[in-house]
Amino acid sequence: MSAAPRPAVLAVPPGTQPEIVCPPWCTDTLEEHVAELGEWEGLVIHHHANESVWHSRVAYPDGTPDPTEVPLIQVVHPRAMDGMTIEQARELLEALSAAIEEASR
């Protein structure tokens, strides 16, 4: 039987800074995470964003992944819907491969 997930942090006392553990690939700031704690009921959504591919993972503030959510990968390449050159498609493929590798760790 696996251990129950730790309870989410639902409230942060004024003037204090909660500790939030980011994976090494997260490009969000601590301030962004703190601002979103209420919106996500104490959970944190870590993002890795670049110009063509994003990926994200939902976790508890201590870095423990939320076992009920899978990592998500999102293609945000500006040409993704309109067609792209072979060179642009190669760059997207590389960015997508890197995101898949990182998100599955």
Provide the binding-site residues for Zn ion, judged by CB under 5 A. Answer: 22, 26, 28, 46
Instruction: State in angstroms the smallest separation of the CB of 36 from Zn ion.
Output: 10
Sign of the alpha-carbon dihedral angle for 84, 87, 91, 97:
positive
Under 8 Å between Cβ of 62 and 83: no
CB atoms within 10 A of CB 99: 21
Pair of tokens at residue 73:
């990968």
Closer by beta carbon to Zn ion, 28 or else 103: 28
Instruction: State in angstroms the smallest separation of the CB of 54 from Zn ion.
Output: 13
Instruction: State in angstroms the smallest separation of the CB of 57 from Zn ion.
Output: 9
- How far is Cα 85 from Cα 79, in angstroms, rounded to an integer? 9
- How far is Cα 48 from Cα 102, in angstroms, rounded to an integer? 9
Closer by beta carbon to Zn ion, 50 or else 90: 50
- How far is Cα 61 from Cα 82, in angstroms, rounded to an integer? 38
Closer by beta carbon to Zn ion, 46 or else 77: 46
Instruction: State in angstroms the smallest separation of the CB of 46 from Zn ion.
Output: 4
Closer by beta carbon to Zn ion, 65 or else 84: 65
